[in-house]
C-alpha cells in the first residue's frame, strides 16, 4: 500500500498554478485540530492511490480558496479535471469511499463482471435537510460518486434545479439528466442499476 503524501497549498494562486501542471488533481480543504478534519486526513492517508501526490489547504490559514469555490464547511474534498471543479465530497468519509473516488473505480454489482457506465450524479441539497443527508449517505454506501450542490448558497444552481424539475424542495438527485425528487430509493436504484 502506498501512503498518501500531501502537498500543502498556501493560496488560490498556488492552487491555480498546480492545476495547470496536472490534468487531474485532488485538494482537501480542512481545519487543523478539528476532529472531522483529522478524520478525513487520517482516512485519506490510508488510501491506496497510484499517484501519491495530493493537495491540502488549512482554511484557518488559507482564506481565498474555499470562498472561491463556495465551500462553507470542512473537511471537503475537491476534485479538479483540466483546471475545472468536477466533484465535491463533504465531511469525513471511509477509506473505502475515498478509494473509490481517488481511484475512479466503477463498482461492478452485476454477476457478468462487465463494468458499468459511469453515471453523472448531482445531489441538490441544503445543510439543514435530513433527507438530503440520507440520500448522500445512501449513495456513499453504494460507492456512487456524486456532486453535492448546496442550493441555499448557490442561487444559479437552485434556479437550474427548479428549471429541470419544476420543484423547489430538496433533496433532488439528477442522474444523467433524470430528476429524482426526495429520497426515492427505488427510482435511484433503477436509474443507477443498483440491484
Q: Are residues 90 and 141 in the same domain?
A: no
Domain contains 125:
yes
Report field, pTM of the whole predicted structure over 0.85: no
Are residues 27 and 80 both part of a single domain?
A: yes
Expressed in angstroms, the distance from the first to the final Cα of the chain is 31
Cβ proximity of 65 and 16 under 8 Å: no
Residue 107 lies in a domain: no
Q: How many domains does the chain have?
A: 2
Same domain, 95 and 24: yes
Same domain, 27 and 88: yes
91-126 pLDDT, tens per residue?
898 888 887 777 664 333 333 344 445 688 999 999
Question: Which CATH number belongs to the domain containing residue 135 in this structure?
Answer: 3.40.30.10
- CA-CA distance, 87 to 150, in Å (whole number)? 13
| pLDDT lower than 50: segments of the chain | 1, 52, 105-116
Backbone φ, ψ for residue 140 (5° rounding): -65, -40
Domain check: are 129 and 184 in the same one? yes
Final residue of a domain: which of 50, 74, 102? 102
19, 78: one domain: yes
Do 92 and 18 reside in the same domain of the chain? yes
Q: Which of 143, 154, 146, 141 is nearest to 180 (CA)?
A: 146
Instruction: State which residues form the domain around 52.
Output: 7-102
Q: Which backbone phi and psi does 103 adopt, to 5 degrees? A: -100, 5
Looking at 102, 135, 162, the residue that finishes a domain is 102
The predicted pLDDT at position 90 comes to 87
- Whether residue 133 sits in one domain with residue 97: no
Are residues 11 and 94 located together in one domain of the fold?
Answer: yes
Predicted local distance difference test score (pLDDT) of residue 136? 93
Q: Report if residue 154 sits inside a domain.
A: yes
Answer yes or no: do 34 and 97 share one domain: yes
Amino acid at each position: 500500500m502506498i501512503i498518501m503524501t500531501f502537498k500543502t497549498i498556501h493560496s488560490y494562486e498556488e492552487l491555480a498554478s498546480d492545476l495547470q501542471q496536472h490534468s487531474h488533481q485532488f485538494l482537501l480543504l480542512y481545519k487543523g485540530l478539528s476532529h472531522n478534519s483529522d478524520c478525513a486526513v487520517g482516512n485519506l492517508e490510508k488510501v491506496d492511490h497510484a499517484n501519491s501526490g495530493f493537495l491540502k489547504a488549512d482554511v484557518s490559514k488559507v482564506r481565498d480558496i474555499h470562498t472561491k469555490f463556495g465551500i462553507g464547511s470542512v473537511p471537503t474534498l475537491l476534485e479538479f479535471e483540466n483546471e475545472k471543479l468536477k466533484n465535491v465530497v463533504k465531511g469525513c468519509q471511509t477509506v473505502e469511499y475515498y478509494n473509490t473516488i481517488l481511484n475512479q473505480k466503477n463498482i461492478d454489482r452485476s454477476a457478468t463482471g462487465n463494468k458499468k457506465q459511469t453515471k453523472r450524479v448531482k445531489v441538490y441539497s441544503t445543510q439543514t435537510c435530513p433527507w438530503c443527508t440520507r440520500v448522500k449517505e445512501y449513495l456513499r454506501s453504494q460507492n456512487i460518486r456524486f456532486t453535492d450542490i448546496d442550493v441555499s448558497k448557490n442561487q444559479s444552481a437552485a434556479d437550474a434545479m427548479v428549471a429541470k424539475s419544476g420543484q423547489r424542495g430538496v433533496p433532488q438527485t439528477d442522474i444523467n439528466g433524470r430528476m429524482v425528487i426526495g429520497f426515492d430509493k427505488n427510482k435511484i436504484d433503477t436509474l443507477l442499476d443498483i440491484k
